[in-house]
Amino acid sequence: MAAVTLYHNPKCSKSRQTLALLQAGEATINLVEYLKQPPSAAELRQILNTLGLSARQLMRTKEAVYLELNLEDTSLTEAALIDAMVENPILIERPIALTEHGAVIGRPPENVLTLL
């Protein structure tokens, strides 16, 4: 069975649904509550590479801190956006499931089934 690292927010319904699907699939789960244990910039770069996304594509643009930090500014570099997500992990889209074979964002939660 697949070993899955799940970047999880227990207050998020999609994150909870994703976790339930992984548990039902009997995956070995390494649960990371990323609001308490945010990924480092290097870890976030690796996650982005595995997902095939840019930092901007992984950002939650409706969070208040997104506007407060003026992150909609298109002149900001990838490194600046990654730093903002490391310092404000609420900006990271959730949940993110990673395996040795790939990664998906659990929106919808059923996306994780492709990893099992």
Taken in order of first residue, the domains within the chain and their CATH numbers are: 1-34+94-116 (no CATH), 40-92 (3.40.30.10)
Q: What type of residue sits at position 112?
A: V
Catalytic one of 1, 6, 10, 12:
12
Nearest to 116 by CA among 1, 17, 15: 1
- Spatial contact of 59 and 93, defined as CB atoms under 8 Å apart: yes
Q: What is the pLDDT of residue 54?
A: 98
Does the annotation mark 12 as catalytic? Answer: yes
Name the DSSP letter for residue 90.
G
| Gap between the Cα atoms of 40 and 82, Å rounded | 9
Question: What confidence tens digit (pLDDT) does each residue in 70-116 have?
Answer: 999 999 999 999 999 999 999 999 999 999 989 999 999 999 999 88
Termini Cα distance of the chain: 7
Q: What is the pLDDT of residue 116?
A: 83
Mean pLDDT, the chain, rounded, equals: 96
- Whether the model clears a pTM of 0.85, i.e. scores above it, the answer is yes
